Amino acid sequence: MINTELNYGDVYLVPKKTIVDSRKECDTSVQFGPRRFDMPIYPSNMKSVVSAETCEAFARLGWFYTMHRFNVDAAAFTADMQSKGLFASISVGVNEDTHEQLNALKAAGLTPEYITLDIANAWCVKAERMIKHIKQTFPGSFLIGGNVATAEAARDLENWGCDAIKAGIAGGRVCITKNKTGFHRPMISTVRDCASAVSVPVIADGGIVEHGDMAKAIACGASMIMAGSLFAGYDESAGEIVEINGKHYKEYFGSASQFNKGAYVNVEGKKILVEYKGSIGKLLRELKEDLQSSVSYAGGRDLTALRAVQMIQVHR
């Protein structure tokens, strides 16, 4: 039997009676681990999306962030962020260099508030070993594990010790895993399956095209949302500026691309150019305003209202 599954563009949410006088009354904040954040969406931990400067900017605004793990000194980054009175949120992998990074953190007496185990398919024995090692070494850190795409995988990561789980495989704009390997699940189905299977928060990672997709992800059970291309191309974004025929663009490439790896081996990502968009402030204001509108259409005052809306499939 072949299952039919859904992506964000395949569904819409049915409006309910609005109970606020103004959408500005709607609260978009979310408790995630030890902290509360102004919005439930944050930039992907990709080298072409976030830099140390990006992370500091988001932390100062009260938004969540995760620094990428590529050629980053996790101890130095953690020390720098915490010395500024900000929280530290780092990414790690599963290979030997991760043990070196963790040992350096431990030796320096540093504990990042958030650690993201970031690999393509976290439903594997290497991830299981690393998750248990991190929880034993840094019990005070909030551990995010990912990525996975099924209920069974999400349950395993919760049982291994993850405090939150990142759901989504091959859904990103610069990810070509589905083309190279044939493996992928649409995001509506992925998030619903994973969120219904675990008691810890689920992060919907990938596939955000329209701002309304935030509300759809939360309606599926996601507590947080990660997006890459949405946050690419701004002053505060990572990536090099390129000029072509008088127009400016910024590079945006996948973590599994040759541009990130430095070599053409096991390539499952690509590079594209996104239009240079200036300061990110306008986007952040618009994202918040649009999510406030979503909450008002859901008939509530905060994000919990989105969990109770009816979702309908549309045929495109």
Q: 229-286: per-residue pLDDT in tens? A: 999 989 999 888 888 888 888 888 655 444 454 545 454 556 778 889 999 999 999 9
d(CA 15, CA 34): 33
Asked if 41 contacts 58 with a C-beta cutoff of 8 angstroms, the reply is no
Per residue in 156-165, pLDDT (tens digit) is 999 999 999 9
Domains for the chain: give ranges and CATH numbers.
8-313 (3.20.20.70)
Lowest pLDDT segment from 37-46, 67-76, 112-121, 237-246: 237-246
Distance of CA 270 to the CA centre of its chain: 19
Q: Which of 26, 162, 175, 194 is catalytic?
A: 175
Average pLDDT of the segment spanning 70-96: 96
Residue 175 annotated among the catalytic residues of the structure: yes
Among the listed residues 170, 118, 159, 251, the one whose alpha carbon sits nearest the alpha carbon of residue 7: 170
